[in-house]
Every structure is written in structure tokens, then in C-alpha cells.
């Protein structure tokens, strides 16, 4: 079953279920912030597992495009604050169905 509309997507962004509260700051120096909910993941990855690869953390957030319409052209001046940690929005990947995958780095 595919997700068909905003009401269906909203079920995933309930903070009692999968989502966490975040603050979207469009321009840090203007302090233009909006409270939103995202599905957040901060995973440990290793390039070349089992070898002498490079390991690092990769923070990602899934957001609704309706809460972040400007994010499709995000720059490092755009940030998300989650659990008192500020992340720069490094890359934005729209899925064409109303969701945005945000690649984050610590500010």
C-alpha cells in the first residue's frame, strides 16, 4: 500500500510513534524558525566493512515537504535542531511524493 495523501503521511510524524520534535531554522542570522516533526536517524556507518575502512556517523531526517517548502534549495545556512543539537542541512532529496530526505552534519 502506498502513501497517498498528507493525512496518511501525518500518521508517521506523530511524536508518540516514530517522529521527534525539531526546529527548522531557515536562515540562522535572521532567526526565522519553525517547529516541525521529523523522523530522525543518526547511524554509524563504515566504508568497506571488515577492512581498514573509514567509519563515521551519518545523521538523516525525513520531513514533510509541506513543513519545509524552502528546503529543496537548502544551504548550510539552513539548520535543524533536534534534542538540543544543531545540524546543518547538507543535502535535500525530495521523493516527488511530498517527503524530503535531509542529509545532516553537526553545525
Tell me how crowded residue 91 is: count the other CB atoms within 10 A of its CB.
11
Q: What's the pLDDT at 73?
A: 60
Per the listing, cell 563504515 goes with 46
Q: What's the pLDDT at 23?
A: 94
Report, as an integer, the average pLDDT of 41-54: 72
Instruction: Give this prediction's pTM.
Output: 0.79
Residues in the chain, total: 107
- Angstrom CA distances, 83 to 1, 23, 80, 103, stand at 32, 10, 10, 17
Report, as an integer, the average pLDDT of 56-77: 78
Amino acid at each position: 500500500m502506498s502513501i497517498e495523501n498528507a493525512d496518511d503521511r501525518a500518521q508517521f510524524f506523530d511524536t508518540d510513534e516514530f517522529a521527534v520534535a525539531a526546529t527548522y531554522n531557515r536562515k540562522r542570522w535572521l532567526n526565522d524558525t519553525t517547529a516541525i516533526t521529523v523522523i530522525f536517524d543518526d547511524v554509524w556507518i563504515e566504508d568497506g566493512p571488515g577492512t581498514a575502512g573509514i567509519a563515521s556517523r551519518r545523521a538523516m531526517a525525513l520531513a514533510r515537504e509541506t513543513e519545509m517548502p524552502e528546503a529543496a534549495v537548502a544551504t548550510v545556512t539552513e539548520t535543524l535542531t533536534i534534542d538540543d543539537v544543531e545540524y546543518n542541512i547538507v543535502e535535500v532529496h525530495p521523493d516527488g511524493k511530498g517527503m524530503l530526505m535531509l542529509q545532516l552534519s553537526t553545525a
